[in-house]
Structure formats: structure tokens, C-alpha cells
Amino acid sequence: MSENERPLRLLAVHAHPDDESSKGAPMMAKYLAEGHEVMVVSCTDGSRGDIQNPRILDAPHPLRDMAGARRLEMAAAQRVIGVQHRWLGFTDSGLPEGDPLPPLPWGSFATLPLEQAAAPLVRLMREFRPHVVVSYDENGGYPHPDHIMAHRIAVEAFHAAGKADAYPDAGEPWEPAKLYYDVPFNPDRVRRIHDALVAAGLESPYADWIAKAAENDAEGHRPWKSRHRVTTQVECSAYFAVRDRALAAHATQIDPDGWFFAVSLELREREWPWEDYSLMSSSVGGPAEGETETDLFAGLR
């Protein structure tokens, strides 16, 4: 960072511990390396997550205290990325299964009134004073109740934090300049990496995903596809390895032999060296229609 540049602040709002590592870790590491401040908010404790790693299915600690295990994992991932971190303090809602779907547990994050759930995030925004806020789209990135609620409170807090008459007990107003949604399932990225794997004679972990996406498109059903165009691509391939180490720190949630690590670091760096975002609100302008910016802090430096 040059002497004429001031450090800027970015706040990333996530539903569970591990979401910060699978979505945005390289981008955050890049901005930290430039001298900016980055904070991650985990809305819930992750207590209703299942053990996804078959290597530790019999581990007694997570089975006895999943929230405690995930707190330790989040601390490890935080050290890997280097971000500041805050817990918002809510209880994981879990991912309901069945037909019909069962009700969510009483008092869990996704069941709360919007203003009750957003109030601590408004307070945090007014304390940290971010210039940029990043969260999920209306579908939560994927339709998990806590992801959808994280989206809702991020948008609510982004617009309310600067208003003196909103949440009057939550500190001095601060107005963030830009709101972005991350686009973790960019179809162009998935197709590009899939084609590169096939061209190299390698098995693609995305083959079934692409086939299902084509079927959903034909039916007009697109549960994971963002409705917003990618406006911003942050080149951060030098930090993809940070993402891998941070993900591995969430040992209960990440299978080291699973699809998160099925594509080599070299191929990912070569074929899609960006992370993708949609600019949703800005007081400092944005890219023209059809253009793509390369910096979440564009207009603020």
C-alpha cells in the first residue's frame, strides 16, 4: 500500500464457521496482504452441522460438543487467513430434510424476527465501520435457511447502519459504501474448469453438477444459480492455497478427499484466477453495464 493510500475495511457476513473459508478466503487474504482490514462475522455457532469428514466420524469431541469443535476450527481457520473474527451469537438452524420439511428448531437463527437478528450486526457495523460489505444473494448462495437469513440481516444492516433513527441503541451511525453478493457457483467458472479437466483426460467432479444444471435450466428451475450478473472479478490466485489450508482447518466439515480438493491448485490458478461478485449497492459508482471491475474497493482508494 502506498503512503497516499489509507487502509480500507471489509466486512464479510457468513452463516456458519467454514463458510468464510469456502467463499472468499483468497480475496480476504489478498486485501489483508495489501494492508487493509478484514473482519468475518459468523452468524451461528454451527452446532447442528453433521460430521462431513469420514476420517473423523468416530471422533468423540465433535459428537459430544459440535459447537465447541467448530469454535476451535474457526480459530484455526482465522489464524490461516489472518482476518479479524466475531461471533454474532445465534444458534444453527440445521438443514431440514424430508417431505414435507419439518419446522426449524425454535429459537434458531432462521426463525428469528428480522430486526432481532439484525440488531447485533448493525452494532458491529457501526463499531467496525466497514467501507465494503460482502454476503450472499437472496438464495443464500444455496438454499440453506441460515444462509438466507444471513443475506437478509446483511442487507438490513447495510441499509440501516447509517440511519440515526434506525436501531438507535446500536451505536453511532456509519454508512458502508458498497454491498456485494458473492457468486460461488458461477456457471462460467464451473464449465471452464470442467472443460479443462476433460481436455486433460482427467475426471471432472462437476460432470453431474453440469448435467443437473442443464436439466434445471430446461425446466426453468435454477436453485443455485445467481440471478445477478457478475460485476466484479478479483484476481487472487496467489492466495488459493490459503483457501485450501483454511478449509482443511474445518476438519469436521471438510472431507480432504472430497470435491473441494478434487481440482489441482495449479489448474484452478490457471483456468479461473478470480473470485466472482455482484455489486448490489454503491455510493461511489460501479462498472458500466457489460463491464467488469477488478476491485471490491474500486471508487474508494
Specify the pLDDT at position 293: 98
Specify the pLDDT at position 144: 94
Per-residue model confidence as pLDDT tens for the chain (301 residues): 665 678 999 999 999 999 999 999 999 999 999 999 999 999 999 999 988 888 886 665 666 799 999 999 999 999 999 999 999 999 999 999 988 889 999 999 999 999 999 999 999 999 999 999 999 999 998 889 999 999 999 999 999 999 999 999 999 999 999 999 999 889 899 999 999 999 999 999 988 888 887 776 665 555 566 789 999 999 999 999 999 999 999 999 999 998 889 999 999 999 999 999 999 999 999 999 989 999 999 999 9
Classify residue 292: in a domain, yes or no: no
Please tell me the distance from the alpha carbon of residue 160 to that of residue 14, in angstroms, as a whole number: 18
Please tell me the distance from the alpha carbon of residue 135 to that of residue 182, in angstroms, as a whole number: 6
Residue 271: all three cell numbers together:
483456468
Distance, C-alpha 77 to centroid of its chain: 14
177 and 195 together in one domain: no
Please tell me the distance from the alpha carbon of residue 110 to that of residue 216, in angstroms, as a whole number: 27
DSSP-assigned letter for residue 234: E
122 and 242 together in one domain: yes
What is the domain count for the chain?
2
Classify residue 121: in a domain, yes or no: yes
175 and 130 together in one domain: yes
Classify residue 293: in a domain, yes or no: no
38 and 150 together in one domain: yes
Residue 243: all three cell numbers together:
483457501
Task: Return all residues near 293 (Cβ < 8 A) that are at least 6 apart.
Answer: 231, 232, 233, 279, 286, 287
143 and 243 together in one domain: yes
Range of the domain at 46: 9-184+228-282
List b or e across 84-114, with b for residues whose CB sees 16 or more CB atoms inside 10 angstroms: ebbebebbbbbbeeeeeeeebeeebbbbbee
Classify residue 66: in a domain, yes or no: yes
Classify residue 287: in a domain, yes or no: no
Residue in the block written with cell 487493509: 36
Specify the pLDDT at position 212: 80
Q: Residue 182 annotated as binding?
A: no
Specify the pLDDT at position 64: 77
Residue 272's domain is classified under what CATH number? 3.40.50.10320
Q: Residue 188 annotated as binding?
A: no
67 and 179 together in one domain: yes
Please tell me the distance from the alpha carbon of residue 90 to that of residue 23, in angstroms, as a whole number: 20
Specify the pLDDT at position 226: 77
196 and 150 together in one domain: no
Sheet holding 178-182, edge to edge: 84-90, 37-44, 9-14, 132-135, 178-182, 274-282, 232-235
Contacts 24+ apart (CB under 8 A), 243-247: 243/21, 243/22, 243/25, 243/26, 243/29, 245/80, 246/20, 246/21, 246/25, 246/77, 246/80, 246/81, 247/18, 247/21, 247/22, 247/25, 247/77
Classify residue 260: in a domain, yes or no: yes
Name beta bridge partners: 85: 40
125 and 213 together in one domain: no
Beta strand segments in 112-217, E: 132-135, 178-182
Q: Pairing mode, if any, of strands 132-135 and 37-44?
A: unpaired
168 and 195 together in one domain: no
Q: Residue 16 annotated as binding?
A: yes
- Is the pTM for the entire model greater than 0.85? yes
**Is 148:133 a contact under the CB 8 Å cutoff?**
no
Specify the pLDDT at position 215: 72
Q: Is the dihedral of CA 234, 238, 241, 242 positive or negative?
A: negative
102 and 166 together in one domain: yes
**Is 46:89 a contact under the CB 8 Å cutoff?**
no
**Is 32:81 a contact under the CB 8 Å cutoff?**
yes
Please tell me the distance from the alpha carbon of residue 129 to that of residue 172, in angstroms, as a whole number: 10
Classify residue 18: in a domain, yes or no: yes
Specify the pLDDT at position 237: 98
